[in-house]
Amino acid sequence: MHNFTYTANPGRILFGFGTLDKLADEIRNAGMTRVLLLSTPQQAEQVGAVAKSLGDLSAGIFSDARMHTPAEVTEQALKSLKSLGADGIVSLGGGSTIGLGKALALRTNLAQIVIPTTYAGSEMTPILGETTDGVKRTLRSEKVLPETVLYDVELTMSLPVEMSGLSGMNAVAHAVEALYCKEANPITALIAAEGVRALTDALPRIAQDGGDREARSDALYGAWLCGTCLGTVGMALHHKLCHAIGGAYDTPHAATHAIILPHALAYTAPAIPEAMERLRAALKTDDPAGRLYEIGREIGAPEGLQALGMPEDGIEHVVELSLRDPYWNPRPLEREALTLLLGDAFHGRPPSRH
Does 139 share its domain with 170? no
Residue 88 is predicted with a pLDDT of 98
Does 98 share its domain with 171? no
- Total domains in the chain come to 2
Does 128 share its domain with 184? no
What tens digit of pLDDT does each residue of 252-275 get?
889 999 999 999 999 999 999 999
pLDDT at position 135 over 80: no
For residue 20, the 8-state DSSP code is G
Q: Model confidence at 1, in pLDDT bands (50, 70, 90)?
A: low
Does 236 share its domain with 311? yes
pLDDT at position 182 over 70: yes
Number of other residues whose CB lies within 10 A of the CB of residue 4: 12
Domain assignment present for residue 289? The answer is: yes
Does 79 share its domain with 176? no
Residue 234 is predicted with a pLDDT of 87
Does 202 share its domain with 304? yes
For range 318-335, the mean pLDDT: 93
pLDDT at position 10 over 80: no
Residue 78 is predicted with a pLDDT of 98
Average pLDDT of the chain, as a whole number? 94
Domain boundary among the residues 111, 129, 156 is at 156
Residue 354 is predicted with a pLDDT of 65
Q: Are 222 and 272 in contact (CB under 8 A)?
A: no
Residue 248 is predicted with a pLDDT of 86
What tens digit of pLDDT does each residue of 75-128 get?
999 999 999 999 999 999 998 999 999 999 999 999 999 999 999 888 999 989
Q: Are 21 and 155 in contact (CB under 8 A)?
A: no
More confident residue, 68 or 72: 72
Domain that holds residue 180: 161-347
| Amino acid letter, 125 | T
Does 198 share its domain with 141? no
Q: Are 266 and 351 in contact (CB under 8 A)?
A: yes
Does 88 share its domain with 228? no
Residue 250 is predicted with a pLDDT of 84
Domain assignment present for residue 4? The answer is: no
For range 32-48, the mean pLDDT: 97
- What is the rounded end-to-end Cα distance, in angstroms, of the chain? 31
